[in-house]
Amino acid sequence: MSIQSIINRFKRSEQSSTHLYVVVQPSALFFSSSLHSELPRQVELNGQPWQQVLTDTLQGLTITHVKLDVVLHSSLYKTYQIDKPNVPEEELAQALPFLLKELISERISDVIIDSMYLSTNNKLQVYVVDKGLVSQLYRTLMALSIELERVLVEDEIWGHSAGELSHFLLLQRSQQGAFRVSAFINSQSAFQRTMRGITPPLTGVASSALQLDGIALELQRSIDYLSSQLRSAPLHTMMICCDEESQQEMVEALNQRLSVKTARLSEQAEWSGEILVRVCENLPHAEINLFPEELRPKKEYVTLTNIAIGWGFAAILLVVVAANLYYQQRDLTQQLAEHTRQQAAFKQQMTQLTEQLNQHKPSAAKEAAIARLQLEIDANQSALAAVEKFVQSQQVGYSSVLRSLATLGRNDISLQTIRIDGNGLDLTGLAQSPQAIPNWVNQFKHELSLVGRTFEQLKIGRNEQDIITFELKTQRESN
């Protein structure tokens, strides 16, 4: 699927309310769901060119500003199958005219070519239509304010007409058309053949067993040929869609004569054009589009009118910008004048305040008196702090310390003197052994009044009776 097909698919989904399908058949034009209450679903050609009938119908009902997809009958285009060329896909469109120049009688510049790869074999299915037909149709519709969106081929549409069945044969005839047998593999048209010498009707009062035998013989030949050529995709079902025939009678007659099963394509009494319209309305995308983008006239944006309009807009924009700048400048000038006046007033006020400040500067005698008073205040604050510290120490007291020492009394330690002040605790005494002293001090952490007290000096000795003496001081003696 090409990129343009994807883009067209999204465009149709966004603008489905303004999209119209028309199917061209040999005897009539068939339209999709009416955008206009008076637009008929079918318009007979009555021997007139279908382009003229289409134009007259749309113009007569004043239908404008819609997107139109045209589905061409098989008699309006040609099909070819060629070997898949060994060229990149992005260069295939440019290479196709050279690949077909030996097969077509028209000049390459006079035709439009599109193609798709067949999934069953290494072939390329090519469709060719006259460029003049498409160009004239585009210009005619543009004059009616109708945009030609795509030009489709009915061979591709028939491939999606059997519902979920993607491998099938199709015997089809449109009103005033010829009998055609087609083969579809993966919903792609892999084989088409127009059956000559078969005159309708084949069923009804004017039917002939010889006619049915003749068409059955031709169909069986095509079936045998396809069986030998398409071994990887066997075809077991033939669908019947023939206008002006009794579909059920044809199915019963061909079931008795063919090696494949036959069935009706539509259970309702629908014309071929009606079936194609219904399939188009539900078709997700189409691989073949005989109205390429390069055929659309390029819109000229750099014209004298557009340039004049552009200069007009530019002039208006410049005037607006200049007026805006002028008003901004005027506002800024007024603000600057106001700020200048404020600055002068502030300078005058600063001069006055400076003079007042100079008048209120203290004399040297006052500054000396202030310094003396500050020293006196500092001395009084130091004294108050010392008194407060002494008061706090008095509030704590020493009774709790003595009770804690008594609680920690040991048989191997004997205290002789205890000296307590606000910051220190000095102890002297006797010990049974040197190890008993640190063990005893280590027990201070279990008493609230002693916890946190540390000793900076420890002296251990012996007295005249050879008993161990010790001194614990919280401060070191000065030398």
Residue 346, domain member (yes or no): no
As a three-state string, the secondary structure of 451-468 is CCCCCCEEEEEECCCCCE
**Taking the alpha carbons of 210, 216, 220, 222 in that order, is the dihedral positive or negative?**
positive
User: What is the rounded distance in angstroms from the CA atom of residue 50 to the CA atom of residue 193?
Assistant: 24
- Which CATH number belongs to the domain containing residue 18 in this structure? 3.30.420.380
137 & 278 share domain: yes
274 & 256 share domain: no
Neighbours of 145 (CB within 10 A): 12
Residue 335, domain member (yes or no): no
Between the alpha carbon of residue 60 and those of residues 45, 48, 67, 144, the distances in Å are 15, 16, 17, 11
Asked if 192 and 155 touch (Cβ cutoff 8 Å), the reply is: yes
119 & 214 share domain: no
Residue 348, domain member (yes or no): no
pLDDT value at position 15? 42
- What is the token pair recorded at 199? 């005159």
The residues near 60 (Cβ < 8 Å, ≥ 6 apart) are none
Q: Which domain holds residue 293?
A: 1-161+267-299
Closest CA to 186 of 118, 238, 260: 118
Strands (E), 46-146: 67-72, 78-83, 111-117, 123-130
Rg (CA), the chain: 56
Tens of each residue's pLDDT in the chain, 479 residues: 445 444 444 444 444 447 899 999 999 999 987 666 678 889 999 999 999 999 999 888 888 888 999 999 999 999 999 988 888 888 888 888 888 888 888 898 899 999 998 887 788 999 999 999 999 999 999 999 899 999 999 999 999 999 889 899 999 999 999 999 999 999 999 999 998 888 888 887 766 778 888 899 999 999 999 988 887 788 899 999 999 999 999 999 999 999 999 999 988 889 999 999 999 988 878 899 999 988 887 766 677 888 889 899 999 999 999 999 999 999 999 999 999 999 999 999 998 888 888 777 777 777 888 888 888 898 888 888 877 766 565 555 677 778 888 887 888 888 889 888 766 788 898 888 888 888 888 888 787 777 777 788 888 888 888 888 988 887 655 44
84 & 181 share domain: no
Closest CA to 230 of 123, 155, 126, 120: 120
User: What is the rounded distance in angstroms from the CA atom of residue 129 to the CA atom of residue 112?
Assistant: 5
Question: What is the number of domains present in the chain?
Answer: 4
Residue 331, domain member (yes or no): no
- In 80-150, alpha helices (H): 92-100, 131-143
User: What is the rounded distance in angstroms from the CA atom of residue 100 to the CA atom of residue 82?
Assistant: 9
Residue type, 335: Q
